[in-house]
Each structure stands twice: as C-alpha cells, then as structure tokens.
Structure 1
Amino acid sequence: MNIPNILTLIRLLLIPVIVVIHYLPFQWTYLVAAVVFMVASFTDWFDGYLARRLNQTTPFGAFLDPVADKVMVAVALAILIEKFDSPMMTIPGLIIISREIVISALREWMAELGKRTSVAVNFIGKLKTTAQMGSITLLLLTKGNELGEGLVGFAGLMLLLVAAVLTIWSMIVYLKAAWPDLTPFKEDK
C-alpha cells in the first residue's frame, strides 16, 4: 500500500459520501456534495501524479484508479440525471456512461491481445475527464432543480455538453486505433 493507492481508495470511499450528503434534507447539501466531489476529482489527478513522480505505480493502482474514476462519474451523473430530470442532462449523461463501458471493455479485450497500449489514455481522454469533472462539480453546485439555472448551472451544462462531445471524439479515436484488431479479416495487398 502506498500514497497513490490510498488516495484512490479514499476516492472510492467518497462516492457513497457524496450520495448520502446529496440526499440529506438540508439546504447546504448541494454545496457540500460538490466540494466532496471536487476533492475526490482532485485525488484522481494527484494519485497519478504521485505514482509517476515517486515511481510508485502498482498493478493494484493501475486496476483500481480507472475503476474509481468511472464509478465516481457514473454515480454522480446518475444523481444529476435524477436531480434535473431533463433530456439535456440525461442524453449527455448516458453518452458518457455508455462510452466508459465501451472503452473499458475495449481496453480489456485489447489487453488480452497484448495490445493495451494502442488504446492507452491520450490527451483527448484527459481533456474529456477534466471537462466531466468540472461539469459535474458545477452541476452539483446548482442549488435548484432547473438545468442551466444561474451562471454556475449554465456553465455546468455547457461544460457537460463539451464533455459529451469530447467523450464521443475520444471513443472514436480509441476505436480507430483498435480497428485493425477488431476487424475479422485482414485485407491482402
């Protein structure tokens, strides 16, 4: 057990905390849930930075880190889909969740072929994650139940739409990289 792995475990433990806080019957819960999500999001960046900087990458961390990220995003999006009850939230939310499932399966399959590096995280994926974390934080900060309400809500909605576009774009990049291994027959030249 090292510091990066501990941070990843903390991120996993914060997921039910965000859910419980969000549903507490107090006026301040939206603010606290957003702050807890933001802290959890920061651990995503920080644990990776420390693992590389301190040369503390482990197979356990390599497995758990993306799991924690995907579960955290999926749970937060589920909360927001229920909170806002709007196609403008549901459609991008489902796009993001679906992409995460597809790419996770693709990475697992490519790993079985010994070609996991061809679908390794790239800059678009990192940009997508940043947009997702930012949009979710802003949308959790939205006090009311109207999507796009106020400046924070509007910024959260716009960033969510950017995240959805980046989600599709990054999925296309990963699928394109894996396409030669996904097609059943190789063309003879």
Structure 2
Amino acid sequence: MPLNLPNILTAIRVVLIPLMVIMFYLPVNWASFAAAVVFWVACITDYWDGYLARKMNLMTPFGAFLDPVADKLIVVVSLMIIVERDQTLWVTIPALIIVGREIIISALREWMASVGKSDTVAVSFIGKAKTLLQMFAITGMLGIEPSSSDAFIASDGWYGAAIFSLVAAAILTLWSMVTYLVAAWPSLKASN
C-alpha cells in the first residue's frame, strides 16, 4: 500500500466500518449516537482523502481502487444495520435502490474502464448531491432510533427528516444511474 495521507485516510475509513457496527450494537443507551459519530467521521475522511489527493497530487492506483470500495462498503453496511433495526418499507425500499445502483454502476465503471471509456461514467453533480443526502440520512438514522413502527411519525421529526433524505437520495440514485447508463449506452451497444 503506497503510504500517503489520502490513502491512510481511506484505510481509516475501512477500519471504521466494523467499529461503527460494534458501536451500533453495544447494549448501552448511547450506542446509536456513537455509531452515527463514527459514520460521520468516515464521511469526513471521504471528503479529505479526495481533496488532499487532488490538491497535493498524491493520486495513486491503490487509492483509486480503495476509495470507492470504502465508500460503498460503509454505505451498504450502515444501510443493512438500519434496515435490520427499523424493518419498515420507508427504509428498506430506498436502501435496496441505493445498494442495487451501487452494484450496477460499479460494474458499469469497471466495464467502461476495460474498454478505455472510464471518463464516460465520471461522477456528476447529481451523484454528489445524492452522496450528501445519503450522508445526512444515514447519520440521522444511525443516531436516532425511531419512536414508533411508522418512521414518519417518529416523535422528534429528525428521524422523519432522515427518512425523507434517504428517499430523496434514492430518487437521485435512480436519476444518476439512468444518466450513467444513457451516457454509456453507445459503448454498450457497440460492444455487441
């Protein structure tokens, strides 16, 4: 592993995943909040590793591989534990959409890179907005346990805001997936 600050931050994000899960399941009343803090720290490392890699010209093939893997792992794992705890369609359906899109776009990016057209599926503004909504939603949902089986009538409203953000992120997820597939379609069609 090339040791530079961006790669170290990315590796820290990977290490934070099991820590987040452990915190979430601790039998203490502050477990959810602690898991949310760990997730938020991981989000901060995601911003800084990319920023520093570009700013200090420290981009490496290892970092280019590990960064999206770390991003997808922490999102998928956090959504899995939230779905397991909350067991409501308002959480499960958006989580399935987000995870499904990540698998499809990862496969598409890998295939496009193999045919030399990786710039066709570069990150867009929609993807960045989706990521911000996901970060807010997951942080909120990890940190606030719903007060009822219907998340939209949670007592404090913050959980409802997190659910709304997750649904909005799922909508942007579908939009960005369609955008990527449309951009890649000529290459996909030509490969037949």
Query: What's the TM-score, normalizing by structure 1?
Result: 0.95
Identity of aligned residues (%): 54
Find out whether 1:131 has 2:99 as its counterpart: no
The structural deviation recorded for 1:142 is: 1.0
Partner of 2:157, secondary structure, is: helix
Q: Which residue of 2 aligns with 1:108?
A: 110
1:64-98 deviation line (CA, Å, top 9, x unaligned) = 00000000000000011011100111000000000
Match of 1:180 among 152, 171, 186: 186
Q: Per the alignment, do residues 183 and 89 of structure 1 end up closer, same or farther by CA in structure 2, a change over 3 Å counting?
A: same
Unaligned ranges ≥5, structure 2:
none
1:10-159 matched pairs, under 5 angstroms: 10-144=12-146, 146=148, 147-148=151-152, 149=154, 150-159=156-165
- Is contact 1:141-1:152 (8 Å) kept? no
The structural deviation recorded for 1:144 is: 3.5
- Is contact 1:84-1:145 (8 Å) kept? no
Query: Within 1, Cα distance between the matches of 2:93 and 2:8?
Result: 34
> Which sits farther off after the overlay, 75-84 or 148-157?
148-157
Query: Within 2, Cα distance between the matches of 1:168 and 1:32?
Result: 31
Q: Per the alignment, do residues 184 and 20 of structure 1 end up closer, same or farther by CA in structure 2, a change over 3 Å counting?
A: same
Query: What's the TM-score, normalizing by structure 2?
Result: 0.94
- Is contact 1:77-1:93 (8 Å) kept? yes
The structural deviation recorded for 1:185 is: 7.4
Structural RMSD (CA): 1.3
Partner of 1:183, secondary structure, is: helix
The structural deviation recorded for 1:184 is: 4.8
Q: Name the count of aligned residue pairs.
A: 186
